[in-house]
Structure 1
């Protein structure tokens, strides 16, 4: 049965441009990590780029989505990185795969704990004392209204995300100093969200009578309505965090 292709238009599973990714990789590789841990890695595109830039490094990506992990393994093979990159289908909760010199956690802190302070505490445990954490985490540009929240994800609440200052403060409280703070642009969000739905939208236009059309259309329409509501309200911060060494 023909089904919509999944995420073929996406390079990264988040609002991250190629230009910003290059800058992040250059900065993170400058610390010469030898071990990289990617929490909620998906297909691990950023991890693979870091490994390409750091020939001595090995990487471990953890995720529970088998399809994304298979895509990551294929990409690693195509780039000659199979010997240095492994993709594990497992939960990140309490993971023993650390400490690492570089920990990537982009849009995946929920894999480490239901509350952000707990997840940040886990990230501090998982990074070596002289390493780095790249945290990609949501924040509110402004507090959303009740009407806006009702059109976002199910049971969306204003407490689902902090503002940016609070987010950085929580990272400091967890034992980090923010080496670099940057946020996804509106262009990056629009590129990501459009690419996220593009394959599905084209499939729906080409298969109006398909048995899966009604369900797929409802899901796509719901997602589009949500992101057009949080457009400009929900942000994503990329924080490069340096662990504070215990005295």
Structure 2
């Protein structure tokens, strides 16, 4: 069964928003790009296309996603300028880089239940002076109710995420200034969540006897309906403060 073929990005990110983000990030002409928890690295590859002299490194533990990234790099003539590496980002020595991407992957930098603060401090050490960090991070659009939390992922808690003002404060405390703040729309979320399951839903319609697949898809859809409109995704373009020390 094929999966995720309907998705360009592994998150609630439209191509239009991605292109605008890449235009902004490429203005500083980064020479090196590091993607933490890169998945199949679509945003990384778009950044390399926008800056022909840049070289990129994507780090992730999912071999299937990395293989997809390598295939895409080959198809786009970028294979000689990017490495997709199957390794942990925890305490990585791959930085500093002029541009660091960490989109929906702060958990790759910290074991904390809410990894945002530790991830931001790690990112500050991974970006070059004068560089940029793009952080894609979940946040609460509003405080979730107990009933909503009960329907989300196992063990979901209000402390799993911050509200947007607190997220921005954490970025400043970690040694950044927020150059640009934007958040995913509900339409971007719906596109992502539908695309996440679409291939499997079509397969299941032709194989209704697959009980485990049906239960998994039904469970995820129920979870999505519990956090739909409650869980947001912020895309923060962050500038490291010169001379900052922890």
Q: TM-score range by the shorter chain?
A: over 0.9
**Take 2:181 and 2:65, find their aligned partners in 1: how far apart are those partners?**
28
**Take 2:208 and 2:185, find their aligned partners in 1: how far apart are those partners?**
34
Structure 1 runs of 4+ with >6 Å offset = none
**How big is the shift at 1:33?**
0.3
Paired residue for 2:165?
165
Paired residue for 2:191?
191
**Take 1:21 and 1:116, find their aligned partners in 2: how far apart are those partners?**
22
Candidates 80, 85, 91, aligned match of 2:82:
85
Paired residue for 1:99?
96
Worse overlay, 109-118 or 97-106: 109-118
1:234 aligns with 2:245: no
Q: Aligned ranges for residues 140-159 of structure 1 at < 5 Å?
A: 140-159=140-159
Stretches of structure 2 lacking an aligned partner (at least 5 in a row): none
Paired residue for 1:121?
121
Secondary structure, in 3 states, of the residue corresponding to 1:178? strand
**How big is the shift at 1:129?**
0.9
**Take 1:71 and 1:116, find their aligned partners in 2: how far apart are those partners?**
27
**How big is the shift at 1:203?**
0.6
**Take 1:31 and 1:186, find their aligned partners in 2: how far apart are those partners?**
30
**How big is the shift at 1:6?**
1.4
Paired residue for 1:40?
37
Paired residue for 2:135?
135
**How big is the shift at 1:117?**
1.2
Secondary structure, in 3 states, of the residue corresponding to 1:83? helix
**Take 1:246 and 1:219, find their aligned partners in 2: how far apart are those partners?**
49
Candidates 213, 216, 228, aligned match of 1:216:
213
**How big is the shift at 1:240?**
0.1
**Take 1:234 and 1:204, find their aligned partners in 2: how far apart are those partners?**
28
Query: How big is the alpha-carbon RMSD for the aligned residues of Structure 1 and Structure 2?
Result: 0.7
Paired residue for 1:200?
200
**How big is the shift at 1:5?**
1.2
Candidates 43, 47, 69, aligned match of 2:66:
69
**How big is the shift at 1:229?**
1.1
**How big is the shift at 1:100?**
0.1
**Take 1:116 and 1:17, find their aligned partners in 2: how far apart are those partners?**
23
Could you state the TM-score of these two structures normalised by the residue count of structure 1?
0.96
**Number of residue pairs matched by the alignment:** 241
**How big is the shift at 1:23?**
0.1
Stretches of structure 1 lacking an aligned partner (at least 5 in a row): none
Secondary structure, in 3 states, of the residue corresponding to 1:5? coil
**How big is the shift at 1:98?**
0.3
Secondary structure, in 3 states, of the residue corresponding to 2:79? coil
| 1:162-201 Cα distance to aligned partner (Å, 9 max, x none) | 0000000000000000000000000000000000010111
1:24 aligns with 2:36: no
Secondary structure, in 3 states, of the residue corresponding to 2:198? helix
| 1:114-152 Cα distance to aligned partner (Å, 9 max, x none) | 232111100000000110000000000111011100100
